Amino acid sequence: MESLLYSSSLQTPAFSSLFNKSLSTPTPILPLPHTHTHTAKSRFEPLSCTMSHSAEAVTNPKETKLWGGRFEESVTDIVEKFTESISFDKQLYKHDIMGSKAHASMLAQQGLISLSERDSILKGLDEIERSIEAGEFVWRTDREDVHMNIEAALTDMVGEPAKKLHTARSRNDQVLTDFRLWCRDAIDRIVASIRNLQVALVKLALKNEGLIIPGYTHLQRAQPVLLQHLLLAFVEQLDRDAGRLTDCKARLNFSPLGACALAGTGLPIDRFMTSNSLGFTAPMRNSIDAVSDRDFVLEFLSANSIIAVHLSRIGEEWVLWASEEFGFITPSDSVSTGSSIMPQKKNPDPMELVRGKSARVIGDLVTLLTLCKGLPLAYNRDLQEDKEPTFDSVKTVIGMLEVTAEFAQNITFNDERIRKALPAGYLDATTLADYLVKKGIPFRTSHDVVGRSVALCVSKNCQLQDLSLEDMRSLSPVFDNDVYEFLGVENAVKKFSSYGSTGLACVADQVGYWVSKLEINKS
C-alpha cells in the first residue's frame, strides 16, 4: 500500500518519511479511517479520454476550462495554441504530483478534506504517475499545462475528491513549487556530472605525472608548468562551479506552496507541514514574493553560464592543442569526426561544440534576465516563459560536462612533441630573474638584466642555458657557475616552491588532495 502515498521515484527523504506509511497503520499525524465514504475501486477504471499508448499532446473536443465559470465563450484555437505550455512543462509532472500529494495530506490533516478523500487523491495520483511513465498518458493542449492535465485526469478518475485538491492553492504557487523542486533535482544532477568530469581530469593528470608543458599568457609562451598543474586548474574551476550550485540550491530551497495567487488564504492550512514534507527548509515568508520571485532560477542559470564558460575554455585549449601547429594532444577516433570532402581530416568536434554551446547557455540566462526586467508584482503570465530556457540550460550543461569527460578519457598527450617544443620561448627567464634576486639584486634590476640576456640569446640564436658564463658576466658580475642550476625547463620547474605553484612537491600535494577528496582509486 506504500505506493498509495508515495512513489519510490521521488527522492526527497522528508517527503518519503511523511508518506511512506502503510494505510493499515494509523499515525498521530494522519490517522486513517476504518471505512471510506465512497468506493474507491469504482473510480479507478481506465479513462479512454485521457489515457492512450501515445505520450504526445493531442487535441480533443474542447471541454470547459477548470477556471471557466465566469466565461461565456471558449478561447479561440489560435489563443489556445499560443498560450499552452503543456508541450514543455510536462517535464514537471513528477514534481507536480509530489507537491499535490503533500498538499492533499496537509488538507486532510487540517480537516479541509476527509481522510478517505485524501486516500482517493493519493491513489489516483499514483496511477497517473504510473501511466505517464508507461507512456500511456495523453497530454491535452486544451488543458493548457501540466497542472491542469493532471488535475483534470484525476477528476475523471476519482470524481469529487479531486475537485477539492486545489483548495487553498493557486497555479501561481503550484508551478513555483514544482519548478523549485525540479531545479533542486537538476542541480544535484549537474553537480554529479561536475564530479565525474573532475575525476576524469584528475585521472588524466595521474597518467601524465612529471610531463612539463609550456605555460602561456597572452597566448605567448611564458613559463614552464607541469601538465598536472594545468589540469588541476580546471578541476579547481569546476569545484567553484559545484559550490555555486550548492549555494544556489540552499537559497532556492524554500516553499512557496500555500501562498496561493499572491495574498495567501483565510483557510486553516499548515504551510510548515507541506514545506517539511517536500524537503524544503521553510515556507517563504512573504506570499507576494513567493509567487513572483525568479531569483532562484536567475542564479541557477548564472551558475550554469559560468560552468559553460569554463568548459568553453577547456574546449578552446584542447582544440588548439589538437592542431598541427601545437600537436600536444591526439584525440582517439572514438571522439573525433571527419570531413565530407577532405579525407585526411580528423576534427575534435565535441570540444568545438562545447565551445559553441556555451553561447546557448549564456543566451538562456540573458533570456531570463530580459524576461524578468520590468515585471510588476506579483505573478504575470510572462513568467510562463521561464521554463524552456531553464530546461535547455540544464540539458545543455549536462551534455557539455558529459562529453568533456568522455573526451578527457580518450586523448593522449604527445610527450615527444611537447618536449621538442619546450626550448622555444625562453620559459626559464623568470627563474633566472629569481636567481639574481636571491643574489641580492633588486627585482627591477634583475628583470632588466635578464631581458638583456634574452636579447643576447636572440642575437646568438641560442637558449639561456647555452650562454657562457662569460656572456652572462658581461651583463652582470653576480652570475656564477650555480646559475646553470636555474636554467632549462626541468631546473626551472624544480625551483618553484610557493604554495599552489607548479613545483613538483606542490603539484604532488595538489594531486593527493584531489585524489582524496574525489575518492579516486589510483590502482
Q: Which three cell numbers stand for residue 401?
A: 560536462
Q: Which three cell numbers stand for residue 359?
A: 553561447
Q: Which three cell numbers stand for residue 503?
A: 613545483
For CA atoms 412, 414, 415, 418, the dihedral sign is: negative
CB 361 within 8 Å of CB 391:
no
CB 11 within 8 Å of CB 25:
no
Query: What counts of helices (H) and strands (E) characterise the chain?
Result: 21, 6
Cα 299 from Cα 296, distance rounded (Å) = 5
Q: Annotate 350-383 with b (16+ C-beta within 10 A) or e (fewer).
A: bbbebbebbeebbebbebbeebbeeeeebbeeeb
Query: What type of residue sits at position 28?
Result: P
CB 428 within 8 Å of CB 464:
yes
177 half-sphere exposure, CB direction, 13 A CA radius:
37
CA end-to-end span of the chain = 46
Is 42 a known active-site residue? no
Collapse the DSSP code of 501 into the 3-class scheme (helix H, G, I; strand E, B; otherwise coil) and give the result.
coil
Query: Among the options 218, 334, 340, 516, which is catalytic?
Result: 218
For CA atoms 129, 134, 140, 145, the dihedral sign is: positive
Cα 141 from Cα 85, distance rounded (Å) = 8
Q: Which three cell numbers stand for residue 361?
A: 547557455
Separation of CA 523 from chain center: 30
Query: Among the options 9, 22, 54, 339, which is catalytic?
Result: 339
CB 372 within 8 Å of CB 302:
no
Cα 514 from Cα 509, distance rounded (Å) = 9
Q: Which of 157, 176, 9, 150 is nearest to 86 (CA)?
A: 150
Distances in Å between the Cα of 30 and the Cα atoms of 20, 26, 329, 374 are 12, 7, 63, 44
Is 36 a known active-site residue? no
* Cα three-residue angle 277-176-97, rounded to 5 degrees: 50
- Name the residues annotated as catalytic: 218, 339
